[in-house]
C-alpha cells in the first residue's frame, strides 16, 4: 500500500521534490506555455525554488521519495503536483484539502490559484473540488531574470 500520509517537506526531500515538481510542470505545461518559459524551467531553477519555499511545502511519501507536493503562499494555492506513481490514489484531493484547511486556519476567507490556460485536466480537478473559474489575468511567474508575465485562468474558492 502506498503511504499517503501528508507531512512537511524536510531538507532530505528537497532534491526529490524539485525533480517531481520539474517533471510535473513540464508534463502539465510544456505544450501550453511559450517556448521561452519552457526553456527557463530547468531542474536547477526548481531546486532553487524548493530551497526558497521548502518550509512551506507539504508532501506525501517516504522521506526522500515524495509522491506529491503542495505549496501555498498566503491566500494562493501556489503549486500542486502528484507523481505518476500516485495518480488515481486520491492523493491530489488529499493535498488540496490539506492546503484548503491550512489556508483557512491562517484566516484566508477566499483562496485563489492560477491554472495554465488550456490545462483541461487540472481545470476539471479544481472544478470538481469546488473551485470556480473567475476569469483570466496576467500573473507574474518566477522567471530566469525576474518576473515573467503570463495570462492564466484564475480559480477561487471560499475557505471560511
Per-residue model confidence (pLDDT) at position 145: 83
- Residue-level pLDDT at 1: 47
| Tens of pLDDT, residues 89-122 | 999 999 999 999 999 999 999 999 999 999 999 9
Q: Are 111 and 157 in contact (CB under 8 A)?
A: yes
Pairing of β 57-62 and β 6-8: antiparallel
* pLDDT tens digits along 37-90: 999 999 999 999 999 998 899 999 999 999 999 999 999 999 999 999 899 899
State the Cα–Cα distance between residues 39 and 29, nearest whole angstrom.
12
Q: Which residues pair with 158 in a beta bridge?
A: 110
DSSP for 67-123, please give it.
Answer: EEEEEEETTEEEEEEE-GGGTTTTHHHHHHHHHHHHHHHTT-SEEEEEEETT-HHHH
The three grid cell numbers given for residue 5, joined into one nine-digit string: 500520509
pLDDT score, position 144: 79
pLDDT at 12: 94
CA dist 62 and 157 (Å) reads: 31
What are the cell numbers at 8? 512537511
Query: According to the model, what pLDDT value does residue 4 have?
Result: 82
Amino acid at each position: 500500500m502506498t503511504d499517503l500520509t501528508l507531512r512537511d517537506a524536510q531538507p532530505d526531500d528537497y532534491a526529490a521534490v524539485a525533480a517531481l515538481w520539474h517533471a510535473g510542470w513540464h508534463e502539465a505545461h510544456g505544450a501550453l506555455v511559450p517556448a521561452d518559459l519552457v526553456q527557463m524551467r530547468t531542474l536547477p531553477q526548481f531546486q532553487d525554488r524548493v530551497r526558497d519555499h521548502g518550509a512551506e511545502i507539504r508532501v506525501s511519501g517516504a522521506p526522500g521519495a515524495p509522491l506529491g507536493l503542495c505549496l501555498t503562499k498566503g491566500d494562493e494555492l501556489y503549486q500542486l503536483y502528484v507523481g505518476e506513481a500516485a495518480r488515481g490514489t486520491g492523493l491530489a484531493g488529499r493535498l488540496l484539502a490539506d492546503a484548503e484547511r491550512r489556508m483557512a486556519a491562517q484566516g484566508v476567507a477566499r483562496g485563489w490559484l492560477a491554472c495554465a490556460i488550456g490545462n483541461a485536466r487540472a481545470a476539471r480537478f479544481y472544478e470538481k473540488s469546488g473551485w470556480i473559474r473567475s476569469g483570466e489575468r496576467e500573473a507574474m511567474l518566477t522567471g530566469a531574470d525576474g518576473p515573467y508575465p503570463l495570462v492564466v485562468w484564475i480559480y477561487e474558492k471560499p475557505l471560511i
